Chains A and B, each alone.
Chain A
Amino acid sequence: MAAYIQGMSWLTPLGSGLEDVWSRLLEGEAAKVAEIGKHFYIPLSPECQECVAALGKNPRLRRSSAISYFTAWAGKTALENAGVAGVNGGRIALVSAVSSGGVIYTRRFYEGIVEKGTASPLLFPETVYNAPASHLAALLGIDGVTYTLAGDSSVGISAIKLAAQLLETNQADHCLVVGAEEVDWVLCEAYRRWRLTTSKPEITLHAKHPAGALLAEGAAALVLGREGPVRLRRIHGGAPFFSRAGARAAISQVYSDLADGEISFVVGSANGSFVDNAEAAALGEKFPGAPVLSPKAALGDALGASALIQTVAGALALGKHPSVLVSSVGFNHQAAGLTLETS
């Protein structure tokens, strides 16, 4: 049984309008970059701040971190886009994808312990990975199936796969899949020392010696159901790799498993890190000549949100291309992918 995309949303450093951001991505426009914390740069996202302000008076969210606001905004907007009404009583499942989760409150909570010897009971509950999903479920009245998945940048594909499994095993009639991420200076510091991100304000894709990615904040959401305008032809839940050198073989395996038809456009995951060359080599081998768009060049890598942002881009690309591959190579977990076509 196939799963279909019925609605979608995204909240990116280039904005939140589906067609508007898509056309700016196609024109090669990159988001403006802002400095945060201790000399780290991330793509600036004024609309993320606006969404926080717009949802800010909700009692359930009043103590929550930015990631919960992003999740709530993206989830609600995707349901509106799908025209799915009547969540209460409906069989709607929620799958949330995160990578670092509530890192701002986690850092602040631990900072309190280390520097002041105090632990705030207001911050701790918001540090759990499933806090954003819990808030969104409460706002929407979802009282059945709710999952949060953690992983690297490929976790959004795993979340879509899980949602499709929930539909196939008849545990839900619709599934809302949301990926979100927030950025804190400590996250930037960790990724820089891990040699995955650059300390410069811009990135270069496919460099011989990759300098690294820029982390970003944002969210994206899909509503999946058993019919809709975009069909998820195949979803590969992930090929693991145990070292960076294994990434190319992993994504090649994913492409081999997904290659059951024509691919006319690729939404790639190149981000300025080792991912670029692994993915490019595998694409050149399996899908030579297919045009590739790498949204992370313009938007940064929003980790838990990034594969869902790519999938939204893939669905929008179906306006001009009959079939699209969404390719995702994570930092330290899996390579994954999916193929899309119009119904």
Chain B
Amino acid sequence: MSTVVVTAAGIVSPLGRGLAETTSSLLAGRDCVTPVTRFDVSRCKSSTAGQAPESLLDPALNRKEQRLHPAARMMVAAVRELREQDPGFAPTFCVIGTTSGGMSFGEAFFRSLSKTEGRPPRAAWLANYSPQKPVLDAMEAAGFSSPSEIIANACASGTNAIGHAFSLIQGGLCESVLCGGYDVISELVFAGFDSLQASTAEKCRPFDKDRTGLVLGEGAALLALESLDSAQRRGAPVLAKVAGYGISTDNHHLTQPHPSGEGPYKAMSRALASSGLDASDIDYINAHGTATPFNDATEGLAISRLFPGARVSSTKAMMGHSLGAAGAIEAVFCILALQEQFLPPNIHFRAPDPGWDMDIIANEAREGELRCALSNSFGFGGTNASIILTT
């Protein structure tokens, strides 16, 4: 079986654009959650989100690219970042995760049909609404022409995309795969999480005893995955290895995990088994950690059972939950942690829950020796995915 490596990574998130800016934000524990101004949130309990500022998007976008959906513009920026790091990367396949594609253009179209708005519908909204379009835009910008798959496994999509890419290369079915995820906040999704009372009006406090819910985020991250043999042949840089992938489906409820934590436990166990590592080899866990009572309860239980005493943080407190992008963004965070030998902080943390055996990286980044990191993503529909990255 082939060893799978990451040769480059492009990222745009509220924490910044590119690896250097992102590392700096992670080390500083920057709180990038701000009031939402793109749409009316006056009827929602929550009013904040992690938003990627317009200034982060590529200033070199051509006229056609400037008309694209913000999700596509993030994807274009991310793929250009990736290409700068590894110009020789030529994927034979592409797997990208998302949950809502260009949803805000769909919203604009619907509003244009309502009697009160009076704004004529634009063809560009329709053409740029579908979830495959930002992927095609990024591929076109990079000159890639491989087949592509759009994984829509809710909030696990980004990790699923990396995991599937890993499986294809490890199994010898592909040599190089572009993978990752993207999502941009939209009114519909914002109101949706608010309606489920999953969002908080306060700070997002993952794994805190008094956590009150999630804040949403957005961003895009792309990773260049390749077999080690192929990367070495062309002298490509190696940022990290992808060592394992696990997936499980929790059938308890469409939006709530089984209280036992069995779904996350199975995903993490399967990732470990796939990597050939022991639980004690995992130096850091970037948790799904949405800060909802249900998610953190089950994930905390599962981590405590499989990795007692593990060093854990959820970076969602800094930038919100970016849904289909989260797994890809957090995989990049893990790569940066492995490269720079630090543990990203779980900010806004006040009090631990006595039911869990975890060492939360509370409020400030820590230095630490890291060789293996595990990243979790769980989603609606009971989709659970875990990947393991190593130096």
- Which residues does chain B contribute within 8 Å of A189, judged by CB atoms? 113
* In the complex, A238 has a CB within 8 A of chain B: yes
Across the interface, do B132 and A125 meet the contact criterion of CB distance under 8 Å?
A: no
Pick the contact of A98 from B106, B152, B171, B173 — CB < 8 Å? B152
Nearest A residue (CB) for B245: A171
Nearest A residue (CB) for B251: A138
**Complex: A242 Cα to B142 Cα, angstroms:** 13
- Which residues does chain B contribute within 8 Å of A190, judged by CB atoms? 109, 126, 129
**Complex: A162 Cα to B382 Cα, angstroms:** 20
Across the interface, do A147 and B151 meet the contact criterion of CB distance under 8 Å?
A: yes
- Which residues does chain B contribute within 8 Å of A242, judged by CB atoms? 136, 140
* In the complex, A9 has a CB within 8 A of chain B: no
How far in angstroms is the closest Cβ of chain B from A21?
Answer: 29
- Which residues does chain A contribute within 8 Å of B153, judged by CB atoms? 130, 146-148
- Which residues does chain B contribute within 8 Å of A336, judged by CB atoms? 147
User: Of B121, B145, B152, B250, which is in contact with the most chain A CB atoms at under 10 Å from its CB?
Assistant: B152
- Which residues does chain A contribute within 8 Å of B191, judged by CB atoms? 113, 119, 124
- Which residues does chain A contribute within 8 Å of B187, judged by CB atoms? 110, 113
Across the interface, do B132 and A134 meet the contact criterion of CB distance under 8 Å?
A: no
Across the interface, do B251 and A239 meet the contact criterion of CB distance under 8 Å?
A: no
Across the interface, do B148 and A125 meet the contact criterion of CB distance under 8 Å?
A: no
**Complex: A134 Cα to B109 Cα, angstroms:** 28
Count how many chain A residues have C-beta atoms less than 8 Å from C-beta atoms of the other chain. 66
Across the interface, do A149 and B192 meet the contact criterion of CB distance under 8 Å?
A: no
Pick the contact of B127 from A107, A117, A128, A332 — CB < 8 Å? A332
* In the complex, B208 has a CB within 8 A of chain A: no
* In the complex, A127 has a CB within 8 A of chain B: yes
- Which residues does chain A contribute within 8 Å of B107, judged by CB atoms? 110
* In the complex, B188 has a CB within 8 A of chain A: yes
Residues 153-174 (chain A) with a chain B CB within 8 angstroms: 155, 158, 161-162, 165, 168-171
Across the interface, do A128 and B381 meet the contact criterion of CB distance under 8 Å?
A: yes
- Which residues does chain A contribute within 8 Å of B197, judged by CB atoms? 121
* In the complex, B83 has a CB within 8 A of chain A: no
- Which residues does chain B contribute within 8 Å of A128, judged by CB atoms? 99, 152, 154, 380-381
A134-B380 in contact given A121-B195, A129-B152, A165-B173 (Cβ < 8 Å): yes
A240-B139 in contact given A127-B192, A128-B99, A169-B167 (Cβ < 8 Å): yes
Across the interface, do B188 and A110 meet the contact criterion of CB distance under 8 Å?
A: yes
Pick the contact of B381 from A110, A114, A131, A169 — CB < 8 Å? A131
Across the interface, do B254 and A135 meet the contact criterion of CB distance under 8 Å?
A: yes
Across the interface, do B249 and A137 meet the contact criterion of CB distance under 8 Å?
A: yes
Across the interface, do B130 and A152 meet the contact criterion of CB distance under 8 Å?
A: yes
- Which residues does chain A contribute within 8 Å of B171, judged by CB atoms? 165, 168-170
**Complex: A41 Cα to B109 Cα, angstroms:** 20
- Which residues does chain B contribute within 8 Å of A236, judged by CB atoms? 147
How far in angstroms is the closest Cβ of chain B from A59?
Answer: 11
Across the interface, do A119 and B195 meet the contact criterion of CB distance under 8 Å?
A: yes
How far in angstroms is the closest Cβ of chain A from B320?
Answer: 18
**Complex: A110 Cα to B113 Cα, angstroms:** 12
Nearest A residue (CB) for B140: A242
- Which residues does chain A contribute within 8 Å of B380, judged by CB atoms? 125, 128, 130-131, 134
Across the interface, do A158 and B152 meet the contact criterion of CB distance under 8 Å?
A: no
Across the interface, do A145 and B147 meet the contact criterion of CB distance under 8 Å?
A: no
How far in angstroms is the closest Cβ of chain B from A176?
Answer: 13
- Which residues does chain A contribute within 8 Å of B93, judged by CB atoms? 237
* In the complex, A120 has a CB within 8 A of chain B: yes
Across the interface, do B150 and A149 meet the contact criterion of CB distance under 8 Å?
A: yes
Across the interface, do B251 and A143 meet the contact criterion of CB distance under 8 Å?
A: yes
- Which residues does chain B contribute within 8 Å of A193, judged by CB atoms? 121, 123, 126
- Which residues does chain B contribute within 8 Å of A149, judged by CB atoms? 149-152
Across the interface, do B382 and A134 meet the contact criterion of CB distance under 8 Å?
A: yes
- Which residues does chain A contribute within 8 Å of B150, judged by CB atoms? 149-151, 155
A109-B192 in contact given A142-B249, A144-B249, A239-B145 (Cβ < 8 Å): yes
Residues 170-199 (chain A) with a chain B CB within 8 angstroms: 170-171, 186, 189-190, 193-195
How far in angstroms is the closest Cβ of chain B from A135?
Answer: 7
Nearest B residue (CB) for A140: B251
- Which residues does chain B contribute within 8 Å of A151, judged by CB atoms? 131-132, 149-150
A121-B196 in contact given A150-B131, A237-B93 (Cβ < 8 Å): yes
**Complex: A119 Cα to B45 Cα, angstroms:** 12
A124-B247 in contact given A107-B110, A130-B154 (Cβ < 8 Å): no
**Complex: A137 Cα to B384 Cα, angstroms:** 13
* In the complex, B101 has a CB within 8 A of chain A: yes
- Which residues does chain A contribute within 8 Å of B149, judged by CB atoms? 149, 151, 158, 161-162, 237
Kindly supply a per-residue 1/0 record for chain A positions 206-246, scoring 1 wherever the CB is within 8 Å of any chain B CB and 0 otherwise.
00000000000000000000000000000011111010000
Across the interface, do A144 and B136 meet the contact criterion of CB distance under 8 Å?
A: no
Nearest B residue (CB) for A239: B147
* In the complex, A80 has a CB within 8 A of chain B: no
* In the complex, B290 has a CB within 8 A of chain A: no
Across the interface, do A240 and B147 meet the contact criterion of CB distance under 8 Å?
A: yes
Residues 46-60 (chain B) with a chain A CB within 8 angstroms: none
Across the interface, do A169 and B168 meet the contact criterion of CB distance under 8 Å?
A: yes
**Complex: A113 Cα to B13 Cα, angstroms:** 27
Across the interface, do B251 and A114 meet the contact criterion of CB distance under 8 Å?
A: no
- Which residues does chain B contribute within 8 Å of A137, judged by CB atoms? 249, 251, 381-382
How far in angstroms is the closest Cβ of chain B from A305?
Answer: 15
Across the interface, do B114 and A115 meet the contact criterion of CB distance under 8 Å?
A: yes
How far in angstroms is the closest Cβ of chain B from A199?
Answer: 15
Across the interface, do A110 and B110 meet the contact criterion of CB distance under 8 Å?
A: yes
How far in angstroms is the closest Cβ of chain A from B12?
Answer: 21
Q: Give 12 A-B contacts (CB < 8 Å), ordered by A residue.
A: A101-B152, A130-B153, A130-B379, A130-B380, A146-B383, A148-B153, A150-B132, A150-B150, A161-B147, A162-B149, A193-B123, A239-B145
Nearest 5 interchain pairs by C-beta: A134-B381, A129-B152, A124-B192, A169-B171, A237-B147
